[in-house]
Structure 1
């Protein structure tokens, strides 16, 4: 039933996704006490919620414009379910903003398959990744995708190799200039211990263990078929599908290296995972198996709320 509802793009699907996102948002704030509320706090929370909704719309736009899936809404459903599975991801403003700008960068790289405005797209992608880095340091790893994209397209134009670095550095030149104008301290003391942590003790809870195992197992299983099916895609789109897969791998490293493990860092993996699993769902011929597979993805996040 769930698979049949989301097999086509319909307004009701967005309403369901909206309510799942609302539930995830409120679950992340269930322990707040009444004294925490103020006008400023309410406006901040409203802005964070709108950012979550805007992120979902951007993901849907990227997928629709670049034919990354068929005309269905499995992708946005899966993204909202991941938000519910790890509802802590809606709590960190900086990561929400960083992930949003990472998606804008991915949008430009994925659209390189059109071979139009290549210089502009490379600059924009690097620029958005640079802004994402300002909000969350390790999201800067996604800049690697601009270089990998050029390798995948076997681009020998030297200008195309220089442009991403120009775009990335532009962000930091502007940022430092603003800090200097506003008389802020721009002295940076780099301590590797402050940037990397391998302390995963926070994940040692029932919800995290089940959630990570569930998402990882489904993600790996779907990735096997996803990689195998890339060769069946249109030649012009193959690099775009590879970029999505590499984005998921980079997101994994962001999670591993994250200095402060709160669960919010999982957000970077949600969009590529949603695309990968959606592509796997489209390959399933047996309707009953597709329903079971998607029903498990749908039910488990709700069951974990009861623990």
Structure 2
């Protein structure tokens, strides 16, 4: 199968005969649909997996912990977007020729766009490097961004930097789990993964538009109002299980309650209370499906006290009762 060229390549600047780099380069040189290899046991534990869904789309999954400090340099010159999602420990790296250090924490993702220069990554002993990255042809993403910016009358969805970082939602985490634990093989797996990647991009872009407040709104807001409302949404995201009251939230973001309620609905398309419910339900579905919690445990975990009320909201959002959902898993 034709693969994206040139090939990705890594090397250890302190050891030109690095065994770990040789193992990784054997993966990157391969044109196989799927290849997985474990880290040599004397250096650490874990695995790397690479799946070439098609020439313009590939998936890399890693879950690795090194026993000693490891430095690797890698990169390729062809234009592409890389969506990377951190599921493990905090991770830092920098780009060749640039002193600025980038950082990503568990629950965050980044996008590299354009012609990426070589990246220099250092792995500390005991650090769990666990994540999923998806590489896509740059023209595919550029076309999609252009369409969405035009459709929603907004600009700069990903900003002007080659690096864009944000937290990812439970909806995104659910799709990442589906990708990592695909139950199919061969061509069926290829079709399934391509569909999941397209779903991931669609959900990601929709959430990005939501966060930017770029959906059509009849509410006129100043730049300071917009900044305060985005802060209000961040506060809710960080305290979704036990959110502040409207009055408390209004004081935190320095808006009166009327402007908070009307501005939030106008900017994000739903009232504050509905937003909290929606995010709790996303979290609950993830806990039921991937953490295998019982319905009662999930209800309490996401901040509900009334199981019947939770079931009603869950059914309204997803079309089935939570108990029915757990039986179907």
Pairwise TM-score range, normalised by the shorter structure:
under 0.3
Greater helix proportion = 1
TM-score w.r.t. the length of structure 1 is 0.23
TM-score w.r.t. the length of structure 2 is 0.22
Larger relative contact order (CA 8 Å, sep ≥ 6)? 1
Greater strand proportion = 2
